[in-house]
């Protein structure tokens, strides 16, 4: 009797395992607009779905002939033709024994896509192109410093993005979110009409803000961004510093040392190990380790 009862309880546990969790609705990730006769590639977040029951397998609903899906990188790619214009509804299924689904649309258009007119680094580096209140431009021009608990306002150019040179639809819609998220934190507000950020800074942290411009609301077409450092001091990493991308090939060893010689603290000294607490986010790269 008792073995039978134990078997029943185990069976109930297996069948009651939670389905994969949808963390970030795919439409909220602002799918990239597809352009006729141009290469298309757009990936959903790796942690769009998560599970506590092992690995996830991904499938999609039937895709049009021009569009393919890579279940490892979670990328959609292809090149649409003239007959593919319009919206495509796609369902992504994540399976760990049970299934969670989410649907979104990809828009295919012949409208010439927008581009960057004045990037945020250009605007941050030129006081005539921004309007900051209690925010300070970092010397590298790739970000701003906010003091903890200060109210602030950062106004940028409404011409940050421009319409495509041959665009028929010339409206540009702005949106903003934190990198890897689908929205901004509660302390950071964004007025997409005036391209102005405002709020009250938290106690500390470094935040990467992504701003998208699109000729269609609810989609992305072009993006640019900047970093917000919240601190009483700042760490500045110039663009030329040796802390950028690492390129490798599958099956080869990675042995890379971060060069901090160009990194400075408060703009007046070279940083050393006593100034910095260096950490690296290696989520999704279990094969890689970092020795601080």
What is the DSSP annotation of 100-134? Answer: EEEEEEEEEE-SPPPEESS-HHHHHT-GGG-EEES
Residue 275 corresponds to which tokens in the numbers above? 């100034």
Q: What pLDDT digit, counting tens, does each position of 151-205 carry?
A: 999 999 999 999 999 999 999 999 999 999 999 999 999 999 999 999 999 999 9
- Two domains, one topology: 18-109 and 115-232: yes
Q: What pLDDT digit, counting tens, does each position of 98-150 carry?
A: 999 999 999 999 999 999 999 999 999 999 999 999 999 998 899 999 999 99
Select the more confidently predicted residue: 16 or 52: 52
- pLDDT of 269 higher than 60: no
Three-point CA angle 214, 201, 210, nearest 5°: 20
Quote the pLDDT of residue 193: 97
d(CA 142, CA 76): 30
Phi-psi region of 29 (alpha: psi -120 to 50; beta: other; left: phi over 0): alpha
d(CA 153, CA 133): 5
Residue 226 corresponds to which tokens in the numbers above? 């900047």
* Average pLDDT score, the chain: 88
Domain boundaries, the chain: 18-109, 115-232, 248-292
Tell me the CATH class for 18-109.
mainly beta
- pLDDT of 257 higher than 50: yes
Q: pTM (2 decimals)?
A: 0.77
Categorize the per-residue pLDDT at 7 as very low, low, confident or very high, splitting at 50, 70 and 90: very low
Paired sense of beta strands 99-109 and 34-35, if any: parallel
Tell me the CATH class for 115-232.
mainly beta
């Amino acid at each position: 009797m008792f073995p039978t009862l134990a078997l029943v309880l185990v069976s109930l546990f297996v069948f009651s395992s939670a389905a994969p969790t949808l963390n970030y609705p795919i439409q909220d990730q602002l799918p990239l607009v597809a352009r006729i006769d141009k290469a298309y590639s757009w990936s959903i977040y790796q942690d769009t779905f998560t599970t506590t029951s092992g690995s996830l397998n991904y499938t999609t609903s039937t895709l049009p002939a021009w569009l393919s899906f890579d279940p490892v990188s979670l990328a959609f790619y292809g090149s649409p033709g003239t007959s593919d214009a319009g919206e495509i509804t796609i369902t992504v299924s994540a399976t760990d024994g049970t299934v969670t689904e989410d649907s979104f649309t990809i828009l295919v258009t012949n409208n010439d896509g927008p581009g960057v007119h004045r990037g945020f680094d250009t605007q941050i580096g030129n006081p005539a192109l921004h309007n900051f209140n209690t925010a300070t431009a970092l010397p590298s021009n790739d970000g701003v410093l906010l003091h903890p608990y200060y109210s602030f306002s950062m106004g940028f150019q409404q011409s940050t993005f421009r319409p495509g040179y041959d665009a028929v639809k010339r409206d540009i819609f702005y949106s903003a979110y934190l990198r890897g998220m689908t929205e901004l934190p509660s302390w950071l507000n964004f007025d997409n009409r005036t391209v102005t950020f405002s709020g009250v800074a938290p106690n500390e942290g470094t935040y990467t803000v992504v701003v998208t411009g699109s000729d269609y609301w609810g989609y992305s077409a072009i993006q640019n961004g900047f970093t917000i450092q919240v601190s009483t001091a700042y760490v500045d990493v110039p663009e030329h510093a040796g802390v950028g991308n690492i390129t490798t090939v599958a099956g080869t060893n990675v042995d890379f040392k971060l060069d901090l010689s160009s990194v400075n603290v408060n703009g007046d000294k070279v940083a050393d190990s006593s100034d910095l607490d260096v950490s690296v986010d290696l989520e999704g790269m279990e094969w890689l380790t970092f020795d601080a």
